[in-house]
């Protein structure tokens, strides 16, 4: 798939998918969605079979919070769970099978930095503590594809409360696991592993910021970033970091993996804005996964009402890359 020769890290996150590849992929995905054939070929890969082995399976489905509404159909599970960005398992979209190698128990999440309650939490203890709910969210990748998914999880603000940030904490820095023995992508030493992402404390306590623990009414399948990932639906998808092991409260603005390797194209804020093109392609519209439909991209991915106020006093910042 990596046919165009360029710096290895420039592939393919930083490259809009050529249409011909997209249509081939569509045929492939339609095959899976078709049912019996896909199911036989892929076994439990979609997460259905694996999810029932997950010790948190009994927690799902969780009640839906109806204040988060969609303007479109949900993306089919078979589509969303077989088209993933998870560079730890490969630089292409078909990493779902490889991602099954990730051990998700035991799993601990460290909360540290400028907080009154630093702690190491076992994932199942965290799940038991948090008010789980389902939210239907849009998702917009910087590569100009989109989906709509029913995440389960809890508001990030709940975790912030648990940590009790000190007055000089301004940012949250999230870190993914680092285990090249199970994640072959992490043997590619030109990436600055582990994957890191961050946001301001104000963004983290916005009602939309969501810690995801499940999807499609089940525990999170591994390819989605089990057992704990982020969803910041008004930002480009690379901000929604997967398989989180550490959350640090900091005074300094964290530098994400993509910003570290390509700061001219991937910044800290990465808010969706159809009027601000990526340096190499337009962000005006998006391909809807599974349907092939093209839609106009919305300001803040349709969440302006909830988040525009966060940026009022930040007009000097590069808010949209
Ligand atoms: N740890 C980690 N988190 C990650 C990524 C990644 O490669 N590694 N890719 C990001 C990108 S670019 C996108 S679009 C989304 C994809 O999420 P999905 O596979 O659930 O659609 O995950 C984001 N989080
Ligand atoms: Mo992405």
User: Does the beta carbon of 86 lie inside 6 Å of ligand 1?
Assistant: yes
Ligand nearest 220 Cα, by number? Answer: 1
Q: What is the pLDDT of residues 161-175, one digit of tens each?
A: 999 999 999 999 999
The total number of residues shown for the chain amounts to 321
Nearest to 210, CA basis, from 105, 121, 117, 131: 131
The residue nearest atom 18 of ligand 1, judged by CA position, is: 84
Residue 17 has pLDDT above 90, yes or no: no
Domain regions of the chain by residue span: 13-308
Compute how many other C-beta atoms are within 10 angstroms of the C-beta atom of residue 219. Answer: 27
Strand pairing of 229-231 and 171-176?
Answer: unpaired
- Tell whether ligand 1 has an atom less than 6 A from the beta carbon of residue 13: yes
CB 256 within 8 A of CB 273: no
Instruction: Look at the alpha carbons of 88, 20, 237, 13 in this order and tell me if their dihedral is positive or negative.
Output: positive
Q: Lowest mean pLDDT: which of 1-15, 50-64, 74-88?
A: 1-15
User: Is there an atom of ligand 1 within 6 Å of 224 CB?
Assistant: yes
Look at ligand 1, atom 15, and give the residue with the nearest C-alpha. Answer: 237
Tens-digit pLDDT profile for residues 222-278: 999 999 999 999 999 999 999 999 999 999 999 999 999 999 999 999 999 999 999
| Ligand 1 mutation target, pool 46, 176, 242, most atoms within 8 A of CB | 242
CATH class of 13-308: alpha beta
Q: Which of 85, 138, 179 to mutate to test the pocket of ligand 1 (most atoms within 8 A of CB)?
A: 85
Check residue 53 and give its pLDDT. 85
pTM over 0.75: yes
What average pLDDT does this structure show over 150-170?
98
The predicted structure's pLDDT at residue 50:
56
């Amino acid at each position: 798939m990596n046919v165009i020769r360029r710096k290895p890290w420039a592939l393919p996150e930083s490259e809009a998918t050529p249409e011909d590849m997209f249509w081939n992929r569509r045929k492939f995905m339609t095959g899976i969605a078709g049912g019996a054939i896909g199911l036989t070929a892929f076994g439990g890969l979609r997460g259905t079979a694996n999810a029932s082995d997950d010790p948190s399976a009994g927690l799902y489905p969780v009640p839906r919070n109806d204040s988060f509404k969609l303007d479109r159909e949900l993306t089919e599970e078979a589509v969303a769970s077989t088209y993933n960005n998870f560079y730890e398992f490969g630089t292409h979209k078909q990493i779902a099978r490889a991602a099954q190698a990730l051990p998700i128990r035991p799993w601990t999440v460290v909360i540290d930095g400028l907080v009154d309650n630093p702690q190491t939490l076992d994932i199942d203890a965290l799940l038991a503590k948090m008010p789980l709910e389902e939210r239907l969210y849009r998702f917009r990748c910087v590569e100009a594809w989109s989906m709509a998914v029913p995440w389960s999880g809890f508001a990030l603000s709940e975790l912030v409360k648990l940590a009790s940030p000190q007055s000089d904490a301004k940012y949250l820095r999230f870190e993914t696991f680092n285990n090249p023995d199970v994640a072959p992508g992490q043997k590619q030493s030109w990436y600055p592993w582990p994957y890191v992402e961050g946001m301001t404390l104000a963004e983290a306590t916005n009602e939309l910021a969501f810690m995801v623990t499940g999807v499609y009414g089940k525990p999170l399948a591994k390819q989605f970033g089990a057992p704990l990932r982020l969803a910041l639906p008004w930002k480009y998808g690379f901000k929604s970091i997967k398989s989180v092991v550490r959350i640090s409260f900091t005074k300094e603005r964290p530098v994400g993996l993509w910003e570290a390797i390509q700061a001219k194209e991937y910044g800290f804020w990465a808010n969706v804005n159809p009027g601000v093109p990526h340096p190499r392609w337009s962000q005006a519209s998006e391909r809807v996964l599974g349907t092939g439909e093209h839609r106009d991209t919305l300001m803040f991915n349709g969440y302006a009402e909830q988040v525009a106020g966060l940026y009022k006093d930040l007009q000097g910042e590069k808010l949209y890359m």
